[in-house]
Chains A and B, each alone.
Chain A
Amino acid sequence: MSEVPEDIAETVVKRFEEELKKPVRLVYFTQEMECPFCAQTHQLLETVAKLSENIGFEVYDFVKDKEKAEELGIEKIPALAILGGKDYGLRFYGIPSGYEFQTLIEGIILVSSGDSQLPSEAVEVLAKAATSPVHIQIFVIPTCPVCPVLGAMAFQFAVANSNISVDIVEIAEFPHLVNKYNVIGTPKAALNETTQFEGLVPPMQFINFIQQAAQGSPTGISPTI
Chain B
Amino acid sequence: MKKVTEKQAIYDIAIIGSGVTGLAAAMYAGRMKLKTILIGFPPGGVIATTDWIENYPGFISLSGKELADKITAHAKEYGIEPILDNVTDVSQQDGVFVVQTAFRQYRAKTILFSTGTHYRKLEVPGSDTYEGKGVQFCGLCDGPMFQNKTLAVVGGGDSAAKEALILTQWAQRIYIMVRGDRLKAEPINLERVNQSEKITLLLNTNVTRIEGGDRVEKVLLDKPFQGNKELAVQGVFIAIGSVPLSDLAKKLGVKTNPKGEIVINRQTGTNIKGVFAAGDVTDTEFKQAITGVAEGVLAVYQAYKYIGGEAVSSCVDEEYLDCPMASENLRKQPE
Q: Do A and B come from one complex?
A: yes
The reply on A5 being an interface residue by CB < 8 A is no
> Is there an interface contact between B49 and A145, defined as CB atoms closer than 8 Å?
yes
Q: How far is the CA of A149 from the CA of B48 in the complex (A)?
A: 11
| Distance in Å: Cβ of B247 to nearest Cβ of chain A | 15
- With A141-B144, A145-B65 in contact, is A224–B118 under 8 Å at CB? yes
Residue of B with least CB distance to A204: B102
> Who on chain A is nearest to B69 by CB?
A102
Q: Assuming the A-B contacts A121-B103, A145-B65, A224-B131, are A185 and B142 also in contact, with contact meaning beta carbons closer than 8 angstroms in the complex?
A: yes
Which A residues between 122 and 144 are near B, CB-CB below 8 angstroms? 122, 125, 141, 143-144
User: In angstroms, how far is the closest chain A Cβ from the Cβ of B218?
Assistant: 16
Most chain B CB neighbours (cut-off 10 Å) among A144, A145, A199: A145
CB of B292 within 8 Å of the partner chain? no
Q: From B102, which residue of chain A is reached at the shortest CB distance?
A: A204
Among B44, B46, B141, B144, max chain A CB count under 10 A is at: B141
Contacting residues of chain B (100-124) with chain A, CB-CB under 8 angstroms:
102-104, 118-119, 121
**Is A13 part of the contact surface with B, judged by Cβ < 8 Å?**
no
When distances are taken between beta carbons in the complex, the residues of chain A under 8 Å from B138 are 144, 146, 185, 225
**A198 an interface residue at 8 Å Cβ cutoff?**
yes
Contact of A184 among B42, B104, B215 (CB under 8 A): B215
From A149, which residue of chain B is reached at the shortest CB distance? B42
> Is residue A103 contacting chain B, with contact meaning CB distance below 8 A?
no
Contact B145 A183 (CB under 8 A): yes
Beta-carbon contacts under 8 Å, A162-197 to B: 172, 178, 182-187
Q: B269 contacts the other chain (Cβ, under 8 Å)?
A: no
* Min distance, Cβ A107 to any Cβ of chain B, angstroms: 16
Given A145-B49, A183-B145, A225-B42, A99-B65 contact (CB < 8 Å): yes
How far is A202 from B101 in the complex, measured between Cα atoms in Å? 11
Q: Is the C-beta of A200 less than 8 angstroms from some C-beta in chain B?
A: yes
User: In this assembly, does B143 line the interface, its C-beta being within 8 Å of a C-beta of chain A?
Assistant: yes
Contacts of A182 in B (CB 8 A): 214
What distance in Å separates the Cβ of A64 from its nearest Cβ neighbour in chain B? 33
Task: Name the residue among B48, B65, B103 with the largest chain A CB count within 10 angstroms.
Answer: B103
Complex Cα–Cα for A202 and B121 (A): 20
The listed residue with most A CB atoms (<10 A of its CB), out of B49, B118, B132, B140, is B132
Q: Known: A99-B65, A225-B42. Is A125-B140 also a contact (CB below 8 A)?
A: no
The reply to whether B144 and A143 contact each other, CB–CB distance below 8 Å, is yes
Answer yes or no: A119 CB below 8 A from chain B CBs.
yes
Given contact pairs A144-B140, A145-B141, A202 touches B41 in the complex (Cβ within 8 A): yes
Interface residues of A (CB under 8 A from B): 99, 119, 121-122, 125, 141, 143-147, 149, 153, 172, 178, 182-187, 198-200, 202-204, 222, 224-225
A146-B138, A202-B42 known; 20 other A-B pairs, CB under 8 Å? A121-B104, A141-B145, A145-B64, A145-B141, A146-B42, A146-B49, A172-B144, A184-B133, A184-B134, A184-B142, A185-B132, A185-B138, A185-B141, A198-B132, A202-B84, A202-B102, A222-B133, A224-B137, A225-B138, A225-B141
